[in-house]
Structure 1
Amino acid sequence: MPVPVSSRLHARYSPRALAATLAWLRVCAVVGQLATVLGVAHLLELPIAEGALLAGITALAAFDAAVWWRLRQRWPVGETEVVAHLAVDTGVLCYLLYLTGGATNPFVSLYIVPIALAAMALSPRHLAASVGIACLAYFIVLIRHEPLPDIASHAAHGGQVFAARDFNLHVLGMAVNFAISAVLLGFFIWRLARDLRRRETLAQRERERALRDEGILAIATQAAGAAHELNTPLSTIRTLVGELRREHPADTPLGEDLALLAGQADRCRDILRELVQVGSAQLTEQAQVQTLPAFIADCAERFRLLRPAVNLDITLADEAHLAPLRIVSALRHAILNLLNNAADASELSASAKVEFAANCTATDVVIEVRDHGPGLPQAVREAAGMRFVSAKRDGLGLGLALTNATIERFHGSLRADAAMGGGTLTRLTLPLSALRAQAQ
């Protein structure tokens, strides 16, 4: 079964993902804090507790190194652990702010960044704990802190190299803080918006897939009912044909027509029996073990019996996998649907050529079918079997939809593109792991 949208996107907002994001931000914070402390102490020559500040930055760097080691382990990362990471970050920032002016330091608003990240991944209970830690840290530096030296008064005593008389350190810090906040918030809001757009796109595809499957199920139900109901009139037709033959044994033209009618009735009966057999095999997951070359040859032989007038050009790469693969009958019918669609498309351009190619990579089986027709409209190519659409005048779009549904059962993909030189190239990709798992 395809992976649900929520499962595929959950990893982007999981506690482990948030811990990794915080680890990267911690690297940036260590670099930025180190540059700021050294710049203020040596370029501005302000009397700050350089040694104590560097000790706090070193402790943060050591903690980040431990977090990177932790993330390489397979232990699950819980929300409580992420809150502990945020508590350490907040505590170190609180220590640095205590030594550099406390709440009067313009960088105090950086308390907001971890809260914004926590809101993306944590539960309300753990988010409330993160907010409480940030508020407590802000309150601490608000009431207790070392005063920040004034750059203007320090310049009046000759300790500043390049500052002007009215230059204010707080204004400079606010400008730098604004730039940092703008970059961080802009980046994370952009990423959040991108993921939301991706979520909407995937959700739309899931809705289309559900509608398609509902349509296929409705058609299958009707087909099963029709097969059951057709069995009785077919038996009646065969009985009447036998009686007419006995009543008119000397009528040669009538006998030939009755023989044709009997043959067609037998053919309909065989089709119904095959339909029942396919359904039974599908329910019991019965399959045939074949290599890829044997499977391609089998599909080609069946197609030539159906469409003998079509010139089928087969290309089998040397890298074709020779290991046995278990092929269900639905997969064989999916390939035949693609070949039939390609033959119909080629006939529209007065061509009888269809190209059939197969290749095998280290992870996937790739099967390509190319026609030499006028090409599919872009809307049909984009649908790619998700909806019942067809470019043929009398087409129902059912064959491509059934093919795509079968491919998705094996976690594969189906893609239709315009081919070089005209026509359409339909590429079917099946993961070897799914086929091997079926074989096992």
Structure 2
Amino acid sequence: MTSTKPLPNQADQLALLRLLGFALQLLLVLFGAETFGLSLQVEALTWVMLAEGVTLTLLIWQRHRLTHHELSLFVTLLLDILFWGLWLAFSGGATNAFVTLLLIPIVLAAVTLPLWAPWVLAVAATLVYSLMMKMLPVSDMMHHGHGMDMSSHYLGMWLNFVLTALVITTTVALLIRRIRKQDAQMAYLRESQLRQEQLLALGTASAQMAHQLATPLSSMRLLLEEVQEANCPVALSEMDTALSRCEATLNELREATRSIREGHVTQASAGTLAHQLRQKILLLMPTTQLDWQVALSADDASAKVLMDMNLVPALMALVENASASTLESRGDAKVSVTFERHEQELLVRVRDYGGGIDSELMSQLGSSLISSPKGMGMALLLSHASFERLGACLTLSNHPEGGSVAEVRLPLIVEAA
């Protein structure tokens, strides 16, 4: 949903418009009554303008606070219609040539507030105009000097006012709403482009590092073979295991790079994805206490999802972050992983038991490259991009019982009948 709150400088602009409107009223009362044929009720107008001046002073004083919230801004515009209506009523009413100034608050609401606000203000302004029509004396219905019935003329003015208000509340308000939507889409595209540029830089760096790792790993493998004669089988076994993991990770990185470059995407069942993730966690994180829950029926487990070489590593990054967060907070590594189906989506939830995510970082993690105290910024950015390529989405939240939850929504592929 796009925000409709006015910017701080708009508060100053609204205050300036109110000052100009009050100055116009004052000039018309003092110097323009005869020129424009205003029927002034001086005593009543004096009290109305005194009250309006006090109210205007308060509105200008608190303009930034009042325009920060939609409801308070709407109330101030409603007050504008009230004071303009009172001023018009005591300076000629419906015969006042400046009666269309009642439309100004409606225009401002159409530009700055949701669609309901200009509609309500249009109804309020129409009621004010209608009351002024009812207050017209019979003598004003006759054209001075000709005895001509003017009721149809005033009715036409009223109808013109109503039609103008309807045009503003529909055409202008909907046009502004469309512009806001387009602005939001452009902002999203700019953020997406920036994220893709960051990922391209990270991918280039990863490819360079993979190339640099290949040579020393090969050398270490040769050195390991040369020291096989040494009488330290445990150390050799550990070195061999570590080298094997490094080589496997390097091969996965190469395969993932090739998969991204070729845009290679396959289909896999939800059960297969859950099995691959579990096996990888048990292999690479044997000391982690894993709470594994797969709430999938046989049909759900066979449902297909889009999958590439980056999906399991992206989920693994979430599990590793959760494990590190729990370890930092409690001293032991515990992670809960849940697979379940919700309508046409596969939900994968990864929960940690740490201290949760700071509210200021919640909206930034995964969408931009930031400096995180726990080092989650880059991993979540890469995971988010991997999910996004598959049409999935990642959301982060804090669990009510402590810790945080990363939820991935993977769309299920519906087979054609």
Q: What do residues 107-154 of structure 1 show as CA deviations (whole Å, max 9, x unaligned)?
A: xx9xxxxxxxxxxxxxxxxxxxxxxxxxxxxxxxxxxxxxxxxxxxxx
Q: Which residue of 2 aligns with 1:181?
A: 164
Q: Deviations over 1:205-237 (max 9, x none)?
A: 222221121111112112212222222222233
Aligned match of 2:344 = 363
Residue 272 of structure 2: aligned partner:
294
Match of 1:88 in 2: none
Distance 1:262 1:287, change over 3 A: same
Structure 1 residue 199 and structure 2 residue 182: aligned?
yes
1:414 equivalent in structure 2: 394
Tell me what 1:62 maps to.
Answer: none
- The CA deviation at 1:190 is 2.7
| 1:400 is aligned to 2:356 | no
Q: Are the aligned partners of 1:416 and 1:424 in contact in 2 as well (CA < 8 Å)? A: yes
CA positional deviation for 1:285:
5.4
Change (3 A) 1:270 1:323: closer
The SS at the match of 2:220 is helix
- 1:311 and 2:289 aligned: yes
The equivalences for 1:17-56 within 5 A come to none
> Match of 1:164, as an amino acid?
V
**CA–CA distance in structure 1, aligned partners of residues 345 and 337 of structure 2:** 17
1:79 corresponds to: none
1:19-418 to structure 2, matched below 5 A, reads 164-167=138-141, 168-169=150-151, 170-243=153-226, 249=229, 252=231, 257=235, 260-261=238-239, 263-284=241-262, 289-318=267-296, 320-350=300-330, 352-389=333-370, 391-393=372-374, 395=375, 397-418=377-398
| Cα distance, 1:344–1:199 mapped onto 2, change above 3 Å | farther
Query: 1:193 is matched by which residue type in structure 2?
Result: I
Structure 1 CA distance for aligned equivalents of residues 285 and 265 of structure 2: 25
Is the 1:384–1:414 contact (alpha carbons within 8 Å) kept by the matching residues of 2? no
Q: Given the superposition, is the C-alpha separation of residues 369 and 267 from structure 1 closer, same or farther in structure 2, using an over 3 Å criterion?
A: closer
Instruction: Report the CA distance between 1:286 and its aligned residue.
Output: 5.2
Give a deviation string over 1:6-54, Cα, whole Å, max 9, x none. xxxxxxxxxxxxxxxxxxxxxxxxxxxxxxxxxxxxxxxxxxxxxxxxx
Q: 1:235 to 1:202 in 2, by over 3 A?
A: same
CA RMSD of aligned residues (A): 3.2
Report the Cα offset of residue 241 of structure 1.
4.2
Superposed CA deviations along residues 159-185 of structure 1, whole A, max 9, x for unmatched, are xxx982422332232123213312331
Deviation at 1:392, TM superposition (A): 3.6
Measure the CA separation in 1 of the matches of 2:170 and 2:212: 63
Alignment deviations for residues 64-106 of structure 1 (CA, whole Å, 9 cap, x no partner): xxxxxxxxxxxxxxxxxxxxxxxxxxxxxxxxxxxxxxxxxxx
1:432 maps to which residue? 412
Partners of 1:267 and 1:318 lie apart in 2 by: 31
- For the structure 1 residues 289 and 171, does the alpha-carbon distance in structure 2 shift closer, same or farther, using more than 3 Å as the test? closer
Which ranges of structure 1 fall in alignment gaps of 5 or more residues?
A: 1-108, 110-161
Partners of 2:285 and 2:169 in 1: CA distance? 59
Shift of 1:370: 1.9
2: CA distance between counterparts of 1:321 and 1:172? 70
* SS of 1:216 mapped into structure 2: helix
The worse-fitting range, judged by mean Cα deviation, of 319-328 and 353-362 is 319-328
Cα distance in structure 2, aligned partners of 1:187 and 1:423: 47
> Could you tell me whether the CA contact under 8 Å between 1:287 and 1:326 is conserved in 2?
yes
Amino acid at match of 2:407: R
Q: Is this contact kept in 2: 1:388–1:396, CA < 8 A?
A: no
TM-score (norm 2): 0.57
SS of 1:388's equivalent in the other structure is coil
Q: d(CA) in 2 for partners of 1:337 and 1:187?
A: 49
Alignment deviations for residues 238-263 of structure 1 (CA, whole Å, 9 cap, x no partner): 33444455xxx5x646x765664455
Check 1:286–1:190 CA distance in 2 against 1; reply closer, same or farther (3 A cut).
closer
Q: How many residues in Structure 1 have an aligned counterpart in Structure 2? A: 272
- Quick one: percent identity of the two aligned structures? 27
Higher relative contact order (CA 8 A, sep 6+): 1
SS in 1 for 2:383: helix
- The residue type paired with residue 341 of structure 1 is N
Q: Deviations over 1:300-338 (max 9, x none)?
A: 221122222323223333453523445322111221112
C-alpha distance 386-259 of structure 1, shift in aligned 2 (>3 A) = same
* Cross-structure match for 2:21: none
1-side partners of 2:264 and 2:234: how far apart? 40
- Report the Cα distance in structure 2 between the residues aligned to 1:173 and 1:321, rounded to whole angstroms: 69
2:234 and 2:294 mapped to 1: Cα distance? Answer: 44
The aligned amino acid for 2:323 is: A
Shift of 1:382: 1.0
